[in-house]
Amino acid sequence: MPQKHIVIEARNMPTSTGRYVEMLVRYLEKVDTVNRYSVLLYPDKMDTWVPTNPNFTAVPCPYKEYSFAEQLGFVKQLNSLNADLVHFSMPQQPVLYNGAVVTTIQDLTTARFRNPDKNIVVFWIKQQIYKWLIKYVSRKSKHLIAISDFVRHDIAEYASIPLDKITVTHEAVDDFDEAPAPLLSVVGKRYIMGDGRARPHKNLARQIEAFAKVHETHPDLYFLLTGKQDEAINEHKRRIEELGLSEFVIIAGFIPDGQLKWAMAHCQAYIWASLSEGFGLPPLEAMLHGAPVASSNASCMPEVLGEAAHYFDPYDTDAMAQAISELVDNPELQETLKQRGAQQVQRYSWKRMAEQSRAVYEKVLSGA
């Protein structure tokens, strides 16, 4: 097939949510030396990515997500680029663009859970728009990419589209660049750790209640919570105080990768209690860095983690507490899960994800 011009919308690179498109671009540069790529970045992020393949060019895109400018000015920019194909890395996109489109949908979490940090009315309105957009984009796009088979089936049912319109390209996990560095707040302590972000789908309230039950029989155990914090954490802090656990629940917030790596390597268990994920990189990162994982059995987690995790029902605090106790009390189980985890992470590859994405482009461009 002759050279084609492919545009990749990468406005959320580099952020935590933009990890997917960052790695997609990085590995497309390695696996595609034929096609020409324009990678759209916010103007103030242009210096965060330097192409290594001469066929790749960074292009400034000033149009913010969910803005009128995105629906009007962005269309003009896309039309001026004369692309053979545009790959949107997220559903947010100008609905009036009529060119060939591939869209990646990470999950439907935003359509199902509210964000307590946002104004409830404003967020509800945006959520309704998002729900409509998901369905519209799913039907309009030439093809969709999902990051797990769970999401593939979820989208097909939600948007009433055929499964064969959606291709799964699993994400992957990488070692952190930073060297391990002790986290002083847990040095010398026996602790478990988990995701401390106070978003409803992260299930923090039930994690705290489950830990309270575990602490009754494990009074020397601490619970380390990491992840970016906001005002919503305050209600959880109040509950921790009510339970008399202020000394034993350590809310570390965001910590550098080196300390996160060290903490994962030294914990008794990494607890992943999420109610909804598209792929779930954190428990895989924990496995990569030597932590035995106890995980929610919801959404995509059994698919992604396989037999390398000790599962529980995330809606049942008694079941969660039991799973945690079983893991921290059983060094043999911990070691088994560490070994399985090290093998599980090897199943995933960013390079393979890029190759599969390129195959989707070629399928759409060929009209197949």
Is the distance from CB of 264 to CB of 195 less than 8 angstroms? no
Question: What is d(CA 145, CA 171) in angstroms, rounded to the nearest whole number?
Answer: 11
Backbone angles phi, psi at 292, to 5 degrees: -75, 135
Looking at residue 368, its pLDDT comes to 66
Looking at residue 160, its pLDDT comes to 97
Q: Which residues pair with 225 in a beta bridge?
A: 194, 251
Residues recorded for the chain: 368
Pick left, alpha or beta for residue 214 (phi over 0 → left; psi -120 to 50 → alpha; otherwise beta). Answer: alpha
Question: What is d(CA 322, CA 159) in angstroms, rounded to the nearest whole number?
Answer: 37
Alpha carbon separation from 95 to 10, 138, 317, 338 (Å, rounded):
17, 11, 43, 46
Q: Kindly list the domain boundaries of the chain, sorted by start residue.
A: 5-172+349-365, 184-347
Backbone angles phi, psi at 41, to 5 degrees: -130, 155
Joined together, the tokens standing for residue 361 give 């482009």
Kindly give the confidence (pLDDT) of every residue in the chain, 368 residues in length, as a single tens digit, with 9 standing for 90 and above. Answer: 689 999 999 998 877 678 899 999 999 999 999 999 999 999 999 998 999 999 999 999 999 887 888 888 999 999 999 999 999 999 989 999 999 999 999 999 888 887 766 767 777 888 888 899 999 999 999 999 999 999 999 999 999 999 999 999 999 999 988 999 999 999 999 999 999 988 899 999 999 999 999 999 999 999 999 998 888 899 999 999 999 999 999 999 999 999 999 999 999 999 999 999 999 999 999 999 999 999 999 999 999 999 999 999 999 999 999 999 999 999 999 999 999 999 999 999 999 999 999 999 999 999 86
Alpha carbon separation from 92 to 11, 115, 148, 160 (Å, rounded):
10, 17, 20, 19
Same fold across 5-172+349-365 and 184-347: yes
Alpha helices in 168-316 (DSSP H): 204-217, 233-242, 257-266, 281-288, 301-305
Taking domain 184-347, whether its CATH number is 3.40.50.2000 is answered by yes
Joined together, the tokens standing for residue 127 give 């959520």
In the chain, the DSSP E strands lie at 5-9, 36-41, 56-60, 85-88, 101-105, 143-146, 166-168, 190-195, 221-226, 249-253, 269-272, 293-296, 309-312
- The three-state secondary structure class of 88 is strand
CATH superfamily, domain at 5-172+349-365: Glycogen Phosphorylase B; (3.40.50.2000)
Question: What is d(CA 240, CA 208) in angstroms, rounded to the nearest whole number?
Answer: 7
Q: In one letter, which amino acid is 321?
A: A
Give the long-range contacts of residues 116-121, CB within 8 A, separation 24 or more: 116/198, 116/199, 116/200, 116/232, 117/230, 117/231, 117/232
